[in-house]
Amino acid sequence: GESVGLHLPTLSVQEGDNSIINCAYSNSASDYFIWYKQESGKGPQFIIDIRSNMDKRQGQRVTVLLNKTVKHLSLQIAATQPGDSAVYFCAENSGYSTLTFGKGTMLLVSP
Amino acid sequence: GAVVSQHPSRVICKSGTSVKIECRSLDFQATTMFWYRQFPKKSLMLMATSNEGSKATYEQGVEKDKFLINHASLTLSTLTVTSAHPEDSSFYICSAREGGGSAEAFFGQGTRLTVV
């Protein structure tokens, strides 16, 4: 079946740097995408979402970019902080169905 | 955002016994709840989708007789792992969606199950 995948399993950055986490999806019918942050031993925490009729959405220190032409999603975190260290998952939704999660990227932020 | 409470957060049980995990939506009505399983350093794998008042829909490869799901009310879904074996040890996470077409799902804090 179609799936969502991530390119990098681990991303290490210095505090204050900008981080970019990438995600490739393959289901062209997906109309809604979400980024989640998961800290060790906890459930996923919603970060930001974007619908397929948009190509960019900004939140506080985070920006999600959607490129439907190449089926690519990215999460940009500005001025990364040690508290941002976690595993980040992208997820896609097709209509009113379940979320399909990508493999995850571990973000490690060094002080 | 909305709050989903999952209980217990950790449980240890003996092989052959059953364990129940609860998932509650605290401030909204969850017409749909989802149960996921997550292995260490892996992504979330959907096990089943449950709608209030109807039977759960299980993903391929998930044994419905082993993982019993009940969604008896709009605020509570339970997952019962029956006749647990050590290979059932995992992190189980629930999520809930409010009705009305909202796509956002809220997640519980997860349950770490260890079968000894």
Q: What is the pLDDT of residues B45-95, one digit of tens each?
A: 999 999 888 889 999 999 999 999 998 898 999 999 999 999 999 999 999
* Residue in A with minimal Cα distance to B1: A46
Find chain B residues with C-beta within 8 A of A48's C-beta.
none
Q: Check pLDDT > 60 for residue B100.
A: no
Work out the average pLDDT over A26-49: 91
Q: Residue A29 above 50 pLDDT?
A: yes
Angle at A36 between CA A32 and CA A42, to 5 degrees: 145
Q: Nearest CA to CA, how far is B53 from chain A (Å)?
A: 18
Task: Give the B window 61-90 contacts with A, CB below 8 Å.
Answer: none
- Cα dihedral across residues B106, A91, A61, A21: positive or negative: positive
B46 close to B59: Cβ distance less than 8 angstroms: yes
Contact B111, B9 (CB under 8 A): yes
Contact A24, A71 (CB under 8 A): yes
For residue B41, the model assigns a pLDDT of: 82
Q: Which of A42, A52, A100 to mutate to test binding with chain B, by most B CBs within 10 Å of its CB?
A: A42
Looking at CA atoms only, how far is residue A34 from chain B in angstroms?
Answer: 8
Judge whether residue B102 has pLDDT over 80. Answer: no
Percent of chain A with pLDDT over 70: 89
* pLDDT mean across residues, chain A: 88
In the A/B pair of chains, how many CB contacts fall below 8 A?
50
Residues from chain A that touch B106, judged by Cβ atoms under 8 A, are 46
Q: Is the pLDDT of residue B17 over 70?
A: yes
Cα–Cα separations (whole angstroms), residue A7 to A1, A75, B114: 19, 13, 31
Mean pLDDT over A6-22 rounds to 86
Q: What percent of chain B lies above the pLDDT cut of 90?
A: 71
Average pLDDT rounded to a whole number, residues A90-103 = 78
Closest among A5, A3, A41 to B40, alpha carbons compared = A41
| Average of per-residue pLDDT across A34-58 | 94
